[in-house]
Amino acid sequence: MMRCRYLTRVFWLLLLFTFLSLSISLAFQGASPLSQILSSLQNYPPPITDAWDSTSLETLKSQNLSHIPQGCRSFLFGPWTPTNILSSLPKSVQIHTPNSDPTVMSQLSLSVPSVISYLHYNEHLSTHRYLCSIESAARHNPNHLIVIHAKNVTDFEEQLKVWRKGIVRSVEERVKVVELDYGKYFRETPLWEWYQQGKHLKSRWVEQNLGNGYRLALLWHKGGAYMDLDIININRLDGLGRMLAKEDSGKINNAALQFPPKDAFVWDLMEEFVRKFNGMIWANNGPVAVTRTFRATCPASSLLLMQSPKNKNNTDPNAPDAPECTNLKILPSSVFYPIHFLRKGTFTDPWQKHCKLLGRMQSGSVGLHWWHKLVPDGTRIPREGFLGKVMEVHCPNVVRDYEGELKEGDGVKEREKEKEKGKMDLGKEPVVIRVPAQRPKVVKVVVKQDQRKV
């Protein structure tokens, strides 16, 4: 008995000696044992940002999900287990051009601002489904400012009121709505003369084509990421740098773009937009213009990264890339367009029917472009359908606040009809953007190739 007590005392003395030795060692490193331990606990597993509710995570963990395929399970836990998309991308998506112009290279090394911009060019919000894009972007990108350029700021803010009240402050305070101002952003770009001469009016889709130009001018002046309002964020944008994303093997879309300010390739995009503008052909001034610019500016890389079209212009297939192609990422379609527009039925299919697709999206997609033209406002979105489940996981507050409307569709439009009948008041009158009566003189300036990269 005495021997047992003796051994116990020796054990505790040794433990105390070890702890004191560790304390002295860590003291010289400027840290206490307790702080070191707490730090290690805080960093493993990775901390959950307060943008995602830990209570919801615990509820999800408590459910019996053993019958659900792995792809669906990983998708459900996606908000709390973000994926580094860069690690899953092939090395060939980034262009490396030798002997680049040092002036251009210094510009290409600029960092991309932590801003995600959206554009809403209609007078009224036609569906609250668009708010899912805003919430998911703000939740998944906690270091980014979310800016919506709206034609009618008053109406857009009115539609955000319910959502703002229910979302955590760290998300809500980073969402800003500003006035859409064509004149402000078109100035000092190739788009200014095109706009002042009213060439944008020669179009079947005036606002849509203005929007195609506006996103380019916005990125030229401010930089950052631009995404359409029918893209739901699934993972973070971190680390993507200067990027475009393919819609399919032969076309680059303009629904998701990211560049630093004053980027030479964005200038190329604006020049091509003006040079071959045709307002009577759908997509000519959007995805088609971006694809044309990439093929013309980066011919060598387009042969490697894109499905090559027939050479109708007899261009040199061995022509080198321009300097501004360096470090430009051409992302595969899986990153923003995991569902092709020809697969419309997928959006309303039962979500568990597509577990493999959901698993691939969780590990290899930044966003889901749900093609508003294919899922218009009147389309019913089942709660257990594919798109309904994506919204429930990545914009839970929007689904909670506007669930009936999201399921049935046309909720905002119905309220607009009631307003016209005098049954509802949705707030103040729309903000009208005033255009000066007299146009300023237009001075045509010929910009040399080496001068435009400023």
Question: What is the residue-wise DSSP string for 360-385?
Answer: HHHHH-SEEE--TTTS-TTS---TTB
The predicted pLDDT at position 308 comes to: 65
- The pair phi, psi for residue 247, each rounded to 5°, is -85, -40
Count the helices and strands in the chain (H runs, E runs).
Answer: 19, 9
- Mean pLDDT of all residues in the chain? 81
pLDDT at 184 over 90: yes
- At residue 407 the predicted structure's pLDDT band, cuts being 50, 70 and 90, is low
Contact 397, 405 (CB under 8 A): no
pLDDT of residue 141: 97
pLDDT at 51: 79
Using the predicted structure, report yes or no on whether residue 55 has a pLDDT greater than 90: no
Confidence at residue 27, expressed as pLDDT on a 0 to 100 scale:
47
Residue in the block written with tokens 């899953």: 88
Taking residues 7-34, report their average pLDDT: 54
- Note the pLDDT of residue 18: 59
So what's the pLDDT on residue 317? 65
**Residue pLDDT, tens place only, 267-299:** 999 999 999 999 999 999 999 999 999 999 999
CA distance 137 to 367: 9
Give mean pLDDT, residues 60-70: 90
CA–CA distance from 41 to each of 11, 23, 49, 81, 226 (Å)?
A: 27, 18, 15, 17, 37
For the entire predicted model, the pTM comes to 0.78
Query: Is a pLDDT exceeding 60 seen at residue 443?
Result: no
Kindly state the DSSP code that residue 36 receives in the 8-state scheme: H
pLDDT of 225: 98
More confident residue, 51 or 423: 51
Written as six digits, the tokens of 221 are 């002046």
Asked whether the predicted pLDDT for residue 99 surpasses 90, the reply is no
- pLDDT of res. 10: 61
- Which of 306 and 373 is assigned the larger pLDDT? 373
Closest CA to 317 of 333, 329, 306, 325: 306
For residue 44, the Cα-to-chain-centroid distance in whole angstroms is 28
User: Does residue 374 carry a pLDDT above 50?
Assistant: yes
Among all chains, which residue has been given the structure tokens 């969780």?
A: 362
Q: Which H or E run includes 215?
A: helix 206-221
| C-alpha gyration radius of the chain | 26
Question: Between residues 152 and 2, which one has the greater pLDDT?
Answer: 152
Mean pLDDT to the nearest integer, 298-315: 73
Residue 411's pLDDT band, with cuts at 50, 70 and 90, is very low
Higher pLDDT, 259 or 45: 259
Contact 237, 258 (CB under 8 A): yes
Domain 78-309+316-420 annotated CATH 3.90.550:
yes
Residue 444 has, within 13 A of its CA and on its CB side, a CA count of: 2
Helices (H), 127-168: 130-140, 153-166
Domain boundaries of the chain, sorted by first residue: 78-309+316-420
Q: With b meaning 16 or more CB within 10 Å and e meaning fewer, what string describes 265-302? A: bbbbbbbbbbeebebeeebbbbbbbbbbbbbebbbbbb
- Of 17-26, 64-73, 168-177, the least confident: 17-26
Residue 378's contacts (CB-CB under 8 Å, 6 or more residues apart) are 409, 410
pLDDT value at residue 8: 62
Beta bridge partners of 225: 116, 258
